[in-house]
Structure formats: C-alpha cells, structure tokens
Amino acid sequence: MKGRVNRRQFIGGLAASATGLLLSKPAFANEWNAHKWRKYLVRMENETASHPEGASGEQPEFEQQARFAEREFNVRDYGAVGDGQTDDTVAIQTAIDDATDGYATVYIPDGRYRLSDPLFVGSQTRLRGSGTEHSVLERTDGHLMYVTGAHEVQVVELTLTGSYPNDPWSTGIVASGADDLKVQGCRFQDLHAGVYLENARGIQITDCVFETIGASGVRLGYGGENTANEYIYVQRNTFQHVNHAALDGNSAIHAHGHPDARNEHVWIEDNHVLSGGIGIGLDNIDYASVSRNRIVGNDVRGECIAIIGSNNQILDNEVSNSIAAGILIWGVAYREIANNVVRGNTCYDNAQGIAIVCGQDHTIIDGLLIEENRCYATSPESRQAFGIQSYINGTVNFEWRDVYVVANDLRGNAVSAYNFYPPRDVVMLDNLI
C-alpha cells in the first residue's frame, strides 16, 4: 500500500507493545452522550440507505438459468478425449464457440482434459462438469480460462488445476470486464490464484474449494482508472492452504491495494478459511459485508480479517490463532476511513482480538463502532495480549472521530482488556473487562 507501514513491521511492533508498554488510559467521555450516539447511528443508516445494496442486499437470481437447459454441447462429440494425455484444447474451445450467445451448456463429462492454451468463454455460455471428482481441466503452463467482456456466464462442477509452483503465474479463471458470472461448486488447486476479477460486476463465487493456492484464492484486482469491481458475492467457500508461498499483498480473499482501486458492494459470507497467510484482506473496499466467516490463522503471518475502507460491516465472524490481529481496521491518509461497524465477532488466541491502526501520517478514522464482540485468550499461554488495541508505529498527526466501543466482553486476555496507545478519544460503554 502506498506509503504505509508494512504488516511485518506492524506485527513486530505489536509484539513489543504487548510486552514492553504500560497500559494507557484512553480519554473516555465523562458521561454517555445519548444524543451524539443517536446522531451517529442515523448517519450510518443514511449512508446505507443511499446505497441500498450496500451491506444487506439479497443475492440476485440468474433468470437465464432455465434457458441453459435447452441446448447442450458435449465436448466428446467434438473430439475431446479426457485421458490426461491428449491435448483437448481445440475440441473444447470449438464447443464453447458453438454455444456462445445461445444460452447453451457445454458439457464436460468424466475425464481429465489437458489444455495447451487457455479457454475463452463468451457470453450466454454455461460450462458444466459432472462433479469436481470427475471432470478436471488441467494446464501446466498458464491460465486456464478467460471470461473477457462477456455476460451471463456460468462455470459449475469442474476442477481447474495447474502445476504451481512449477508454473508460478497460473490462474483458474481470469474475468476482466465480465458481467453476471457465476462460479459454483468448483475446485481450484495447484494454482497461483483461483479466480481473478478485474472491472467485473455481478459476480457469484459460491460453494467452491480453493486448495494449495500460492497467492490468492479470490482476488479483486485493479483494472486501471475509472474501473471498479461491483456487486461481488463470495459465499460458502472453503479455502485451505492458500497463500502458502507467503506472498505480500495476497490472502485467501483479497482486494487490491492500489490507491485508485474501487471495490464496492461486496458480500463475503459463510466461508471457511484455514489460512496460509492473511485470511480476508480487503484494501480499498466500500459497502461490504464480511459476515459469518470462520477463519483459523497460523503461526507464520497475517491477520484473519484486515480492511481499509468505509461503510463496511464485519459481523458475526469467528477468528482465531493469528500471529497478528483477529480483526484489523487499517487507517490510511490517501482515502476516507469512515462509518465502519465491527459487531458480534468472536476473536480468540490472536495477537490481539481487534486492532485499530493508523498506518500513515494525517490518517482520520471518522466513525467506528465496535460492539458486542467477544475477545479472549483460551489459556494463560495464549498470545492474545489485548481484547482491543490501537497502534500507530511512529505515525503522527492522526485523528479519531466518533469511535465507540460498546458492550464487548473483553475478559480473559493475557495482558489486559484493552490498550489505546497513545490515548485517543473513545466512548466506552457497558464493556465487560
């Protein structure tokens, strides 16, 4: 990220803070200001109302699904063999070309289909396998599939596999300028990245498995000026041994950190992440819901959830065993950090349960509600020093506005319930410490 403290420095600083700094008393409000609290909640509600799909929208239905059943092209009829030795690229691509723009299904039956070049999938096309244990697309020297400028595309019940790390840049699906793409019930393995999105809109990635991925499972990339990833749904997926290469700027689910990147209206829900690094790392994201995910960190690197942006909700997640923060709100100076809610999460055996970091000079955190979270260490030997901690790592001239810590259970951490260093203006109410 532009001009910010890197996370390795942050992790090291937190460890020093946990062992070498005296607890600092924050500048609490003298009394509960109910009027100010109501004003803050109204502001949050107004922001969400102005973007009605912001953090509580329903997943859209794909009205074209029924049409895909009308016509089907079997790749075996085009000469595909599926024996893992024969090059089936031309046969499968020809079937895709015949199905394009026709709401047709390209059926890939049982077999292991070797590709020497990527497949290019056009609009109104559905690629369907017979299950991830049976239908496998394999390429050992590059990306497997492009969905470029296409709309109404589905990829279901397939395994896409590469040869990472022998091929260090392979990606399962690259979707650039795509609109209405559904990836469901697929397996991505032995790849640099699973699904890469760039200037994409209306994307559903559901019920998939990502395993042995070198960098990111799902990556929201930066497509250049005046582009955005919008209305992205990442739900009910499993991520295991992702970012095992420990590459900076990657995570199981990741949004690009370019200062001009735009990622808006994103739902990341009900995923299970057995992290090889950062679990969910969202840089430059707005109007997102990160909810009901279960993330287990490791002893190597990274937070369970890390976020930079505004008008986001982090709700009801279970995060544990991270060498860094369970949940990290990262402040930067080059963009607004405002109106975020962290509520109902369970954070245990991390370096700290919830961390608030000002990573650049002149950072302003304007509106943050931390409410009804449970942060604790499961044993005296646990690394989780604090339930909630703020950290600056040398930055100056930063400001907090309307930061509320309300009704959290912060009992049972290894050092203390909280540590705001240096002291900041925080409204605290009804916390168990």
pLDDT tens per residue, range 47-70:
444 443 433 344 445 455 667 877
Q: Could you give the CA distance from residue 136 to residue 150 in angstroms, rounded to a whole number?
A: 23
Residue type, 360: Q
- Of the chain, the percentage scoring pLDDT greater than 70 comes to 81
pLDDT in tens, 148-204: 999 999 999 999 999 998 888 899 999 999 999 999 999 999 999 999 999 999 999
Instruction: Report the pLDDT averaged over residues 90-102.
Output: 96
Q: Please, what is the average pLDDT of the chain? A: 85
Cβ-based neighbour number of residue 42 at 10 Å: 10
Nearest to 198, CA basis, from 227, 225, 170: 227
Residue 399's pLDDT is 85
State residue 397's pLDDT score.
80
pLDDT tens, residue by residue, 208-247: 999 999 999 999 999 888 899 999 999 999 999 898 766 7
CA–chain centroid gap for 310, Å, is 15
What is the per-residue pLDDT for 230? 96
Pairing mode of beta strands 278-291, 305-310: parallel
pTM of the model: 0.87
DSSP string, 169-193: T-EEEEEES-EEEEEES-EEEEEEE
Give the whole-angstrom CA distance, residue 384 versus residue 433: 15
> What ranges in 194-249 are assigned the alpha helix state H?
none
367 pLDDT above the threshold of 80: yes
